[in-house]
Structure 1
Amino acid sequence: MGKKRTRNPDDDVAMADEVRAQQKKNNDSDSDSDEDMDIVNVDFELFNYDPQIDFHGVKTLLRQLLDADASLFDLSSLSDTIVEQNTIGSTCKVDDKANDAYAFLTVLNIQDQQSKKPVIKQLAEYLAERAKKSPDETLQKAVPELLLGEGKQQVGLVLAERLLNMPAEVIPPMWSCMIDEIEAAVEDKEPYEFTHYLVLSRTYLEVESTLDQTERKNKRSKATGELQYFHPEDEEMRKFALAAGSFEYTREGEAAAADSKRAFQEMGIKPVGFMMLIEAAKFQKAVQAITEYVATGGVSMEMS
């Protein structure tokens, strides 16, 4: 694949300024509501991928994104694929480009990459199989056909993850920047003219924890309540989705998940995968919606 258009360095400055401005706005609001709270100001900046720097940071975040099923994939190859697309998507860092990423965002052309990268073919097959087990009937049918079919549809697989408790202000600039980069890549005749976007994320259910070893042998923890979001903006984005739904990981039992991921609470949590299929015509509107959602204080920090 030829070299893509390089993002203007001034754009990085503008994006960083946008993040800082939104952080200041929210911090001022927090100060009004709780004057005793200590606030630490941290400047986040967005960078293009650098294969010499970002491999390990992206790999760590991919392991978090794929959760219990991360061991199914060659994460080294997937990380290489992401960082080699060095003008599509962003890393978010503090202080210096040489540091590991606190967050990353990218989009991969499933149809274009499957024949070149075995890990992308494996990931496509995995997502098609997981979609079949989703409670959403449209997702069950549409995702396997789009990912594995021989039609002319082009699917952009969106992979995004960040460290726990990252401020929500970093979200909109990363997505907006990626949209601009996709438009520039299409102008340069690169294979990023998608008909659909498939966004992979994580969610969770609360479960009844059974910490007692004897009791654990005799019963499984039961999932309770509604689907909850590790990334709260996903709830806003799914409003624009053609189909969206959760799916269970193949390598994690309910009891193990509940007890190993308890966070000083009576209820445990059961992580489950989540995917959203969004038509290209609605993708920019979805990004604008989460931008407004964050700007109006709809989300500030995500849970750990």
Structure 2
Amino acid sequence: MAKKRAREADGAAPDPDKMQEDESSDDESLLRQLLDVDSQLFDISGLADLILSQPTIGSTVKTDGKEADPYAMLTALNLQEHRAKKPLADLIQYLGEKAKATESLSALPELLASGQHVGLVLSERLINMPSEIAPPMYNLLADEVEAAVEDGEPYVFSHYLVLSKTYHEVESTLDVEERRKKKGKVAEPATYYFHPEDEVLQKHALAHGSYAFTKNDEAVADSKRAFQEMGIVSKGHLILIEAGKFGGAIKAMNEYLSPPS
């Protein structure tokens, strides 16, 4: 019996009221949220099917029973194992192209083409879900991967590639012109994280960086100003972590985000 499964037998598994593994859950809406405006470029249903085809890897969080929509999801796909499957092949090509255009991610395209077993980490949750949900989900993923490796499944990863999102605030064109007239220069917008754990993960990363979505139209940002003075523009974000450092990254995340006892 694998270690993770043995811990479950000893009653040390995560609280089932807070976290449930449900292979039948439909994660398509969370995948669309994660990929944002570029989700239309991919076969989201096919990606969801790939996720659901992994009975021992991946978890969702629900509060209203197994038939309810998931509030959060976390899983890892072996890019090498599934690279011939079109839904993932399209995503790999997309990520490689984005990395080529992002200096801080320059090491990624060669890695994706090398044949090494890279684990693509897909993590998303509803906007109002607290960030404290991330540590137990990542702890569970680490346990699942350990157990799967012990059972001879193809999860011996060389690296983990976390797919996420960032955003920056953007002023209207009129506001920017006014500031240019007054100050002569407009500062680069600050980057913010939808997932606070990303700031911790990237401290342990080999490479990380944000990229513009292919379908992004910054004019849309002005339409989001109903509740705040500034709009937002979201970007894709990648964090590449060597497998040997992934456990340390998760430990640091736990220390940073876990609520005080």
Q: Shorter-chain TM-score category?
A: 0.7 to 0.9
Distance (whole Å) between structure 2 residues aligned to residue 12 and residue 233 of structure 1: 27
SS of equivalent residue, structure 1 residue 100 = coil
TM-score (norm 2): 0.87
Do the aligned partners of residues 5 and 81 (structure 1) sit closer, same or farther apart at CA in structure 2, a change above 3 Å counting? farther
Distance (whole Å) between structure 2 residues aligned to residue 144 and residue 12 of structure 1: 42
For residues 240-287 of structure 1, the C-alpha deviation after alignment (integer angstroms, 9 at most, x for no partner) is: 00000000000012122x123336111111100000000000001111
Distance (whole Å) between structure 1 residues aligned to residue 209 and residue 136 of structure 2: 26
Do the aligned partners of residues 263 and 292 (structure 1) sit closer, same or farther apart at CA in structure 2, a change above 3 Å counting? farther
Q: 2:70 aligns with which of 101, 107, 110?
A: 101
Aligned residues between the structures: 248
Which residue identity lines up with residue 212 of structure 2 in the other structure? Answer: E
Structure 2's unaligned 5+ residue stretches are 176-185
For residues 5-35 of structure 1, the C-alpha deviation after alignment (integer angstroms, 9 at most, x for no partner) is: 9957668874228xxxxxxxxxxxxxxxxxx
Contact 1:210 1:255 (8 Å CA) reproduced? no
SS of equivalent residue, structure 2 residue 169 = strand
Query: Residue in 2 aligned with 1:15?
Result: 14
Calculate percent identity across the aligned residue pairs. Answer: 53
Is it true that 1:122 corresponds to 2:90 in the alignment?
yes
Contact 1:5 1:185 (8 Å CA) reproduced? no
Which residue identity lines up with residue 77 of structure 1 in the other structure? Answer: G
Which residue identity lines up with residue 194 of structure 2 in the other structure? Answer: F
Do the aligned partners of residues 209 and 191 (structure 1) sit closer, same or farther apart at CA in structure 2, a change above 3 Å counting? same
Q: 1:157 aligns with which of 113, 120, 124?
A: 120
Moved more, 184-193 or 203-212: 203-212
Which residue identity lines up with residue 30 of structure 2 in the other structure? Answer: L
Do the aligned partners of residues 5 and 88 (structure 1) sit closer, same or farther apart at CA in structure 2, a change above 3 Å counting? farther
TM-superposed deviation, 1:209 = 2.5
Distance (whole Å) between structure 2 residues aligned to residue 184 and residue 112 of structure 1: 18
Do the aligned partners of residues 134 and 75 (structure 1) sit closer, same or farther apart at CA in structure 2, a change above 3 Å counting? same
Distance (whole Å) between structure 2 residues aligned to residue 49 and residue 262 of structure 1: 38
Is it true that 1:278 corresponds to 2:241 in the alignment?
yes
Is it true that 1:144 corresponds to 2:113 in the alignment?
no
Do the aligned partners of residues 87 and 262 (structure 1) sit closer, same or farther apart at CA in structure 2, a change above 3 Å counting? farther
Structure 1's unaligned 5+ residue stretches are 18-43, 213-221, 298-304
Q: 1:225 aligns with which of 176, 180, 189?
A: 189
Query: Residue in 1 aligned with 2:213?
Result: 249
Which residue identity lines up with residue 81 of structure 1 in the other structure? Answer: L
- Equivalent runs, 1:39-78 vs 2, <5 Å: 45-51=18-24, 54-55=25-26, 58-78=27-47
- Equivalent runs, 1:132-211 vs 2, <5 Å: 132-136=100-104, 139-140=105-106, 142-150=107-115, 153-210=116-173
